[in-house]
Amino acid sequence: MEKSFDLNAAIGIGTHDAPFLHADWPAPTHVKTLITTRNGGVSEGVFTSLNLGAHVGDNPLHVARNREIVQQQVGLPVVYLNQIHGISVVNAAEHIGNVPDADAAVDSSGRVACASMTADCLPVLFCDKAGTVVAAAHAGWRGLAGGVLQNTIAEMNVSPVEIMTYLGPAIGPDAFEVGQDVFDAFYARMHEAENAFEPIGNGKYLADIYTLARITLRREGVSMIYGGHHCTVLERDTFFSYRRNGKTGRMASIIWLEKAV
């Protein structure tokens, strides 16, 4: 059983302020997930309070303590990535103790947890129906347009029809204003992406990153797609948002296999 409610009680907060969410999907019971919010940590100021980003200017001691809090929930080593808005995917078990330049990680060993760190970009969690492999991808618009989800599916080495995905908290369609360059990047690859953009004039659009991810996944043969209901910008008490605040913290969407000892 996952321990989030024990921690909530320990730090004296109610369930409505719970620092952790979990993917709401029909994954096998030994596929575990943890989605952090901005609550439940020790960081201060603009990073209040569960900032997990070591690259954003926060006190390193606070970040380390916040990661310890998360580590206590997960149990396995969490592999954080140096995300570069690219499309590279790594085998998480090969990077315990280091921080690879990549935007997605996969694992089938059950010895490590895969993490996607975000503050508006889209975190996507993956597993197969049998629970033999998991993955986490960081999908900003550049990585999403470039193929990070496709590459993650390929590295899982199972049939796409066996894969289910969960779209974690990201910037919502009412807050994600983009320019013509973003529209063009997606439309050039898949014309149906036009349905994810609402023109608002002067070459600007409101983009639905969740719809863009769903289109991408379905084109790859993945039909089991869950989540995609939050807005990190508008839900200011729950999530960090770079678009809203600029200097801010980072959350993590984490997935791992709980294998019997």
In this structure, what token pair is assigned to residue 181? 């360059």
- Segment-wise mean pLDDT, segments of 10 residues, the chain, 261 residues: 38 53 98 98 98 97 98 97 98 96 98 98 98 98 98 98 98 98 97 98 97 98 98 97 97 92 45
Phi-psi region of 121 (alpha: psi -120 to 50; beta: other; left: phi over 0): beta
Length of the chain in terms of residues written: 261
Confirm if 156 and 141 have CB atoms less than 8 A apart.
no
Confirm if 39 and 13 have CB atoms less than 8 A apart.
yes
Q: What's the confidence (pLDDT) of residue 53?
A: 98
Q: Is residue 185 situated within a structural domain?
A: no
Q: What's the confidence (pLDDT) of residue 259?
A: 80
**DSSP β-ladder status, 104-107 and 89-91:** parallel
Confirm if 13 and 49 have CB atoms less than 8 A apart.
no
Cα–Cα distance between 194 and 189 in angstroms, integer? Answer: 11
Q: Is residue 213 situated within a structural domain?
A: no
Q: Is residue 214 situated within a structural domain?
A: no
For the chain, what is the domain count?
A: 1
Q: Is residue 202 situated within a structural domain?
A: no
The domain of 86 spans: 19-170+221-257
Q: What's the confidence (pLDDT) of residue 33?
A: 98
Q: At what angle do helices 209-219 and 148-156 cross, to 10 degrees?
A: 40
Q: Is residue 182 situated within a structural domain?
A: no
Estimate to the nearest angstrom the gap between the alpha carbon of 198 and the chain centroid. 24
Q: Is residue 6 situated within a structural domain?
A: no
Cα–Cα distance between 46 and 58 in angstroms, integer? Answer: 9
Q: What's the confidence (pLDDT) of residue 14?
A: 36
Q: What is the pTM of this model?
A: 0.93
**DSSP β-ladder status, 251-257 and 89-91:** unpaired
Q: Is residue 48 situated within a structural domain?
A: yes
Write the DSSP symbol of residue 112: S
The residues near 138 (Cβ < 8 Å, ≥ 6 apart) are 81, 83, 85, 103, 104, 116, 117, 118, 121, 122, 123, 148
CB neighbours of residue 227 within 10 Å: 23
Q: Is residue 152 situated within a structural domain?
A: yes
Question: Domain of 135: which CATH number?
Answer: 3.60.140.10
